[in-house]
Chain A
Amino acid sequence: MRPFLRWALVAAAAAALVTFPYWSAPWASRFATTVVRDALILAIFALSLDLLVGRAGMPSLGHAAFFGAGAYAAGIASQRLATDQLPVTLGAAALVAALLALLIGVLVVRSEGIFFLMLTLALAQIVFAIAFQWTAVTGGSNGLAGVGRPMLASLDFSAPDLMYVLVAVTFVLVALAVWGLARSTYGRALIGVRENERRMRALGYDTARLRLSAFVLAGTIAGIAGALSAYSTRFVSAQDAGLGNSVRAFVTVLVGGAGTLGGPILGSALVSLIERVVPSLLPTDLRISDAILGIIFIAFVLFARQGMVGLGRFALLRVSRR
């Protein structure tokens, strides 16, 4: 397929995604828009985590700390700085998340494997504890209510369809950025660090700095996802920075297929689908949606090792062979 045609298709898909509320209005309820919006926010979060888990080989179980930091920053900025302007609040979210990622990154960057996992988990839990207890600033366990409407000049993004557009556009930009990163020298260097760090160092790369930059970049994007979440629900819960949220993103990446662009995206679609649809399909006495999720994980690991992306590739290969 010629490059021009490929790019045209991508642009068309992106445009369709961004304008989803408008062309789906006749047959889908407004709820469908919120479902896709939330799935896209998870996708942004998962894409950022994949930079660490999939590409740089840094299995972080504390990524929600940055998601939460971004969410709180966006909410607090709109309240304390008395402005709802998107550049300010989103900028604050990105900045705070980046700084937190720098602080934590410096501490964790020399760890590996299970130790890295535990250290990121522990440090993120400290962030969660601060969010949960510091009632004066974060609202404590009751959460931060009254997050301001995201405004751009006089355009109010809190309208459901505009909110969706904001999220979808951000998603497209992040996906493009991650795609570009993967093909760049930086991206390949990250993979090199994952595969054989000693050799990379022997080749002259500052692997610690590479990892730290990946950690900060991933944290910043996660913070942006958090801010979008705060804008959508106009509320920040301490759980946004909690272990459950970190684990959710982690399994999304693994199920979708770590180290690919499509993986975190497909994983988000699947996880969102399961979380939304399965409980409403089961009778109220039968609360086994977690068990179903678990069986899907087990099945993926045993039979579809590369996640949904692997499955998709396999299927496409079969189709194209015909």
Chain B
Amino acid sequence: MGGFRKNELAEKRGYTYRLTRRQFLVASSAAALAACGPAAVTPGASPSASPGKELKLGQLLPFTGVYAELGNSMRRATELYLNQNDRKIANRPVTLVYGDDANVTATGVQVTQKFIDQDQVDVMMGVVPTPLAYGIRNAVHAAKLIFIDTNAGGNALTRDTTNCTPSCKSPYIFRASFSSYQISYPIGDYLSAKGTKDWFLAYANYGFGTESAADFTTGITKNGGTVTGKVAPPLSNPDFAPFVTQIKNQPTKQVYSFFSGADAIGFIKSWNSLGLPAAGYKMYGAGFLTEQDVLKEVKDLANGAITSLFWAVELDNAENKKFVADFQKAYPLLPDVFAVQQYDGMHALDEALRKLGGDSSDKDKLVKALEDVNFKSPRGDFTFDKSTHNPIQDIYIREVKTQNGQTVNTISDKIAKVTDPGK
């Protein structure tokens, strides 16, 4: 029996001096076997494009990791939309294929590849983190897979850029959420036009935070405003006291902040416990600073914060009232902006496909149909900008107030029909 030497000392210590070819063979065939796993479990389905046949939607969402709450919210919105429409889109029964990116870009890229090669989905939706959206842009574009981004807001995804760096738009990519510009520049313009010229910036030191701070700065410099200083804590920062202490020890009282999720909660709690409101400091920010996931934890600590977003749970239009009511009936929760983004994405796809009689086989026709959608969404009128595929939407200036025992964003003003510049 060649090559298989029993070495007692080696075995006791857990290694061998010699290797067997047998192990090599076993090893490499095991690697090949690993490939059989997914192939055997779900053999590639034949694409069904004709009306009446199932429509396969790939949903790439985070169900584990720091963004799991968003992924779950977006899944609820998906299920709500389908349940309201008899589990059909454009009269075709929908099969959902969920994939978890766990906030790891490499995993999300692999899931996208699976959507394209194995599941052969008709349309792909989802994607929370911008790096992931950038990471899959080329694969989606090359495969001519229509991808409706329902969160990732990196500006470049719907713009012309040099050398497609960090990313660039694609005819097959649509965005049903927002561009970071849309929630940062208009409020900068608006607030500085009202007379406040000096601003201090506080933002999470990563792509989204930096981009938002930069767009806000462009907005205020347009009206002669200046940035007097900044603090930029790292992402997922445990202790915000040092940074808020820095803010408190400088004279500029207007602070534009970009934080979301756990960072926003930590920042707002520190802001209060270190006495900034009493000392006259005012908190402004992009909408995610005071979204539902944050407000449910900090509650009235956030009162008075002014943020900009294309939606608020209090938005007073018929669609939103119905959406909020339906969402609460289906789940004992208030919807958040992530649910709205996903819901609108489903709606946009539904409307576009209906115009084509349910036929999803011609990608270019579907692109044109999506470009032409126009419907009433919880955020107001929803259309895509034909040249960028980013939504054209109203941006609301919101203020956090506690009313009827709940802390919510109330609408104080509106900037109508904001488009992304596209370059």
Which residues of A does B touch, CB under 8 Å? Answer: 1-3, 6-7, 9-10, 13-14, 16-17, 20, 24, 27-36, 38-40, 43, 54, 79, 132-133, 135, 139-146, 175, 179, 182-183, 188, 191, 229, 233-235, 237-240, 244, 257-262, 265-266, 268-270, 272-273, 275-277, 279-281, 284, 287, 290, 305-306, 309-310, 312-313, 316-317, 320
Contacts and interface: CB of A to CB of B under 8 A. Distances in A.
A63 B285 CA distance: 39
Interface string B15-55: 11111011111111111111111110111100000000000
B221 interface: no
A30 B120 CA distance: 11
Contacts of B38: 31-32, 35, 276-277, 280
A206 to B, nearest CB: 22
B245 interface: no
Nearest to B33: A269
A269 B3 contact: no
Closest 7 CB pairs of A and B: A1-B2, A259-B15, A262-B23, A31-B117, A31-B118, A237-B105, A265-B27
A261 B15 CA distance: 10
10 contacts: A6-B2, A9-B25, A10-B24, A139-B166, A141-B206, A259-B14, A268-B31, A281-B41, A317-B4, A317-B6
A235 B138 contact: yes
Nearest to A12: B25
Given A54-B15, A306-B14, A239 B106 contact: yes
B262 to A, nearest CB: 17
Interface of B: 1-4, 6, 11, 14-19, 21-39, 41-44, 63-64, 68, 75, 98-100, 104-107, 109-110, 113-114, 117-118, 130-131, 134-135, 137-139, 154, 156, 163-167, 205-207, 210, 235
B135 A237 contact: yes
Contact of A237 (B11, B34, B106): B106
B183 to A, nearest CB: 17
Contact of A29 (B32, B44, B63): B44
A132 B1 CA distance: 53
B30 A265 contact: yes
A16 B32 contact: yes
Nearest to A259: B15
B110 to A, nearest CB: 7
Given A143-B131, A239-B104, A28 B35 contact: yes
A143 B105 contact: yes
